[in-house]
Amino acid sequence: MSEPLKTKLQYYGISPWEIEVLYGFLHSRFTIVQEEIENNDENFVSFLDIGIPLEFNEAFFKWFDFKQWEKVKDVLKEYKRRRGSRNALKIKIQFAGNPKIVFTIDVVDRQWFNNAVEKMDFVIELLPQHLDPKKLPTGVREINYKFDVESARWRLDTAKSKDQEFTFKEDVWKEIQKKID
């Protein structure tokens, strides 16, 4: 018998009740490790980081069950609704893989926040193009997506290799130069 997959929830400013609801939807597929952390971003009252130990692809949604994923998305949107219209909630969802795929949702407006949550699934269709080795910097281990309210879609934001970080601007990856003090 194989060991159950572990998903990690790191959070602050999320009530025990809210975590319990999310836990309820995830525990049917994962063993859940919870860690309440200190506030590490003064711009947000609440933060949730969900570490999913599977790749972001069609197989994940079939395995997890699309209806179950819809319920998880509804919970995330409810977190935002409960916090009002200020910049109170930041959510990070990290999918394992090579490269790891990370979604960061930190949109202030609730309607755009909900739109970001709903459109996350659509990125799957773009992955073959986004992960094309001819277009990616060498050795990339992590790709970060951020929701762009101007275009109402998820955009490539940053990529990380072992010792380099890149930003995606004007349809090309550019290395982020580290400042030397």
pTM of the predicted model, to two decimals? 0.92
Per-residue pLDDT of the chain (181 residues; tens, 9 = 90+): 467 899 999 999 999 999 999 999 999 899 999 999 999 888 899 999 999 999 999 999 999 998 999 999 999 999 999 987 776 899 999 999 999 999 999 998 999 999 999 999 999 999 999 999 899 999 999 999 999 999 999 999 999 999 999 999 988 999 998 766 5
Six token digits for residue 164: 């380099």
The per-residue DSSP string of 82-126 comes to HHTTSS-EEEEEEE-SSSEEEEEE--SSHHHHHHHHHHGGGGGGG
Q: How many CA atoms lie within 13 A of 42 on its CB side?
A: 0
Q: Are 90 and 50 in contact (CB under 8 A)?
A: no
Number of domains in the chain: 1
Residue 4 pLDDT: 82
Task: Residue 85: give the domain boundaries.
Answer: 6-175
Does residue 1 lie in a domain region? no
Does residue 181 lie in a domain region? no
Does residue 38 lie in a domain region? yes
Q: Rounded to 5 degrees, what are φ and ψ at 88?
A: -105, -15
Does residue 140 lie in a domain region? yes
The per-residue DSSP string of 68-80 comes to HHHHHHHHHHHHH
Distance of CA 60 to CAs 3, 37, 50, 51, 158, Å?
Answer: 17, 28, 15, 14, 23
Residue 47 pLDDT: 96
Does residue 57 lie in a domain region? yes
CA-wise closest residue to 111 among 84, 144, 72: 84
Does residue 96 lie in a domain region? yes
The per-residue DSSP string of 4-41 comes to PPEEEEEEES--HHHHHHHHHHHTTT-EEEEEE-----
Does residue 102 lie in a domain region? yes
Does residue 180 lie in a domain region? no
